[in-house]
Structure 1
Amino acid sequence: MNNFQFRRRVAYWRGRRRMTQAHFAALMGKSVRWVEELEAGRVQANPQLSVMLLAASKLGITLERLLSDEAVACAGQRELDAVRAALHHHDVITGACGAAAEEPVPVELLDRTLAYAHDGFQRGHFAQLGTVLPTLLIDASQAAHHHRGDDQLAAFRLLSLSLELANAALIKWGDTETAVLAGHRAMAAAERSEHPVTMASAARHLADAMTNHGQAAEAVAFVTAVAGRLQGELLRRGPDGLSVLGMLYLKAAMAQAAAAEADDRRFAALARRVPDHLAAAAGHADHLGRDDNRLWTSFGPTNVQLYEVAAHVQLSEGADAIAVAAGIRDIAVASLPRERRAHLLTDRAHGETQAGLHEKAVDTLLEAERLAPEEVLCRPRSRALVEDLRLLVTGSAEGRLRALADRCELPG
């Protein structure tokens, strides 16, 4: 093991154990200066086995675990290129099978594959989508072309949901331009499915992509128009319809907040409309009567609160975001998918940073990392927050933050 790996692993596990450098130094029988220099890479160019054994013992882990590199695999250029290539594949663009197309995948198998991929996303495993999505997008496109009748409508529905997932993954990976493209394709497939719930689901994802791509005002207009057009039909569709209808208003709230943040002249007027969209979503959540995960929405009263936190952060109202987050019941948060819980924690860390609680923000990010590492270590939004905190944090949190920055592979 080289010096960089050893110091990174020691700093990582010291952070995991919430030890200060002084505490770890005392356990090692060394000075604080020694620990500082070790983690900065200025000592132990070839760490001795005795030092590694002692460090592992004091950190409460085996030597094998200390020496293993548990770095999180983030989606890289290969995964991005694969999804982009699928979106530009002949069959996905034209909706027509190429001459060499084989017998299409059965609708039932597409459904199971889509469920597997969506479940992975909700567990916070975003990188694996770079392997699953390209094949799923092409298979679903070919199935929609090949089948007829109800099977064809079902295939268009599954194609739309697959494109939505590509949209969501691309946002996590920071490619908002391609996310918008996937979102438009999802809307087109949803319309061909003749299924209002799928149309609304695609619309909420497209609005999210538009907002993240700097088209927030347009996203507000689009998503509220869809909500108005489909509301009657969605209300007749039971929990599925209520869930996607509520999500349309949550996406409208976030788009409204982003539009306000981008418009200095009309900030106050635009920001005043955010609570209206949140209230509309809350009304549908109350009608639903529980937290649910229909169509992977996680929609319900608790998710409305999560979006309220996120909207306050978007408006740079950190203290308000912290207050709302503090009022969310732990038992309610625990029932949400990992991705939602980690997203709440990263939003809370943003709010704490805005409120000047920089050390607390570091600890909140570490909590999010333990829950869903890719949400912190891989997502550009979270990595940017780590970069900002490196300029702001002093004192006891510096070591924990430095170790986190190393795991994010941020330049020193």
Structure 2
Amino acid sequence: MCVFHMEELKVDLNGVNRRIASWRERRNLTQEEFGTHMGRSRSWVQKLESGHRQLDPRISVLEQACKVLDIPLEALLSDQSSDNAEKCVDAAEVVVIKEAFHRYDVISGNYSEATAPVDINLLKRQAAYGWDAFQAAHYSAIGRLLPALIVNAGSAVQATDGTNRLAALRHAALVYQLACAVLVKFSDAATASIAAHHAVTSAERSGDPITIAASIRQLVHAFLAGQQVESAIEIAVAAQGRLYSALLQEGEAGISVYGMLLLKAAVAAADADDAPLATELIDESSSLATQLGRDSNIMWTGYGPTNCLLHRVSTHVQLQDGEAALSAAQAIDPGAFDSLPRERRAAHTIDLAHSHALVGKTDQALTALLAGERLAPQEVHCRPHAHKVITRLLRAPGTVSPRLRALATRAGAAA
């Protein structure tokens, strides 16, 4: 639905043509397809996007365009509104990702001859690009990539055999893990669980313990997002017992994925309000990180001593212990922190803001959120978790500062 808040928006009609073209491309529509939805010709769209056609002064054309593109009208009338929207995976893109998992060929693994198989090396590069974009907090790029990549993953598996099929299964599992991580971040736990099941199935078929552990970590993540806490703990504990020996034989990669599985299990324990178990799991992972001896990013884990400290903060936040979270945060070395992936650092600033909010330190919480916004605007503007913290600050006793109100406006968070 198009919603128009003229009183809150600085309208800039000069850039409308550019914004229409940008959103059309983001929705993977050709000019001809967009014109058909608008009831117009391709040449009409070309003139509209080039700025050669006068816009309807009653903005009826824009209202129709925003319905076709499934965006708010503000996204066409203001660069700031458009820029904020373009940084996020929006609801329309989440639906397209969900629809990819609902396809018969994706579910069954039986692809028709009309579906051109993707070379496994291309699939590997695309999966790596997606994970790099995720860690850089470039979420909108992933939203455009994932639907086709989900289809390509299964197609590549079907088109290979022998050793190549095992490699294709590993790369496919990476794709499904990425889909799960994105869907959890943007609050579609049900589809995230479907993605995670695809990942685990592909990983098990590959026989690779590293891929299996990484996929189970995402399944735990999806279960937690869906409030299936007991299932999350159960599967994490079962996987640890089964995979421990095999993973430790895989060197740094094995240590990294096993250590991250322990950290995710710790978050699950904290979600179940089991502080002793959460602490035990964090301590065990920290011991492994000490053996690793450095912060690394093997298999896009960002694993190492510093990430263990960040997860210790996260578990205290989950347990609603702001003082303990802030105390744990003091142990984080700034230099080591700066070496972590941007997404991980920005997520920590939200945890830090939440910690300050829990102890009533509104100003410090806002400072942390603003630091996160400078680091990765998408993480603060797009994530429901960040919006909850902003809303909590807006509702805190006292006068709402102009800086907080401005942040809430940029993020689209409401009191």
Which category describes the TM-score, using the shorter chain as reference length?
0.7 to 0.9
What does residue 219 of structure 1 align with?
A: 232
Separation of aligned partners in 1, 2:357 and 2:146:
35
What does residue 252 of structure 1 align with?
A: 265
Separation of aligned partners in 1, 2:89 and 2:374:
18
Do residues 100 (structure 1) and 114 (structure 2) align? yes
| Cα contact 2:106–2:154 (8 A) shared by 1 | yes
Pick one of 396, 406, 410 that aligns with 2:409: 406
**Residues 121-270 of structure 1 aligned to structure 2 (within 5 Å):** 121-260=134-273, 270=274
Partner SS, residue 127 of structure 1 = helix
Separation of aligned partners in 1, 2:375 and 2:85:
13
Measured at CA, do residues 277 and 137 of structure 1 come closer, stay the same or move farther in structure 2, by a change above 3 Å? same
| Cα contact 2:84–2:411 (8 A) shared by 1 | no
Per the normalisation by structure 2, the TM-score is 0.80
What does residue 85 of structure 1 align with?
A: 99
RMSD: 1.7
What does residue 357 of structure 1 align with?
A: 361
Separation of aligned partners in 1, 2:288 and 2:90:
38
Look up the equivalent residue of 1:351 and give its one-letter code. Answer: S
Separation of aligned partners in 1, 2:341 and 2:99:
29
CA positional deviation for 1:373: 1.1
Partner SS, residue 299 of structure 1 = coil
CA positional deviation for 1:90: 2.0
**Residues 340-351 of structure 1 aligned to structure 2 (within 5 Å):** 340-351=344-355
What does residue 368 of structure 1 align with?
A: 372
Look up the equivalent residue of 1:403 and give its one-letter code. Answer: A
Look up the equivalent residue of 1:77 and give its one-letter code. Answer: A
Unaligned runs of 5+ in 1: 8-66, 261-269
Look up the equivalent residue of 2:233 and give its one-letter code. Answer: V
CA positional deviation for 1:212: 1.6
Deviations 1:191-216 (A, max 9, x none): 01111100000011110111121111
Separation of aligned partners in 1, 2:398 and 2:367:
13
Partner SS, residue 217 of structure 2 = helix
Separation of aligned partners in 2, 1:279 and 1:71:
39
| Cα contact 1:72–1:374 (8 A) shared by 2 | no
Separation of aligned partners in 1, 2:197 and 2:176:
9
Pick one of 326, 330, 335 that aligns with 2:334: 330
What does residue 382 of structure 1 align with?
A: 386
What does residue 307 of structure 1 align with?
A: 311
Do residues 5 (structure 1) and 47 (structure 2) align? no
Moved over 4 A (4+): none
Per the normalisation by structure 1, the TM-score is 0.80
Look up the equivalent residue of 2:170 and give its one-letter code. Answer: R
Q: What count of residue pairs does the alignment treat as equivalent?
A: 342
CA positional deviation for 1:3: 5.5
Do residues 316 (structure 1) and 310 (structure 2) align? no
Separation of aligned partners in 2, 1:387 and 1:335:
30
Separation of aligned partners in 2, 1:334 and 1:370:
13
Greater relative contact order (CA < 8 Å, ≥ 6 in sequence): 1
Measured at CA, do residues 141 and 378 of structure 1 come closer, stay the same or move farther in structure 2, by a change above 3 Å? same
CA positional deviation for 1:411: 4.3
| Cα contact 1:317–1:354 (8 A) shared by 2 | yes
Separation of aligned partners in 2, 1:310 and 1:287:
22
Deviations 1:272-326 (A, max 9, x none): 1111111111121111111000110000000000000000000001011111112
Q: After the TM superposition, which of the residue ranges 195-204 and 400-409 deviates more from structure 2?
A: 400-409
CA positional deviation for 1:409: 1.9
Look up the equivalent residue of 2:378 and give its one-letter code. Answer: E
| Cα contact 1:144–1:159 (8 A) shared by 2 | yes
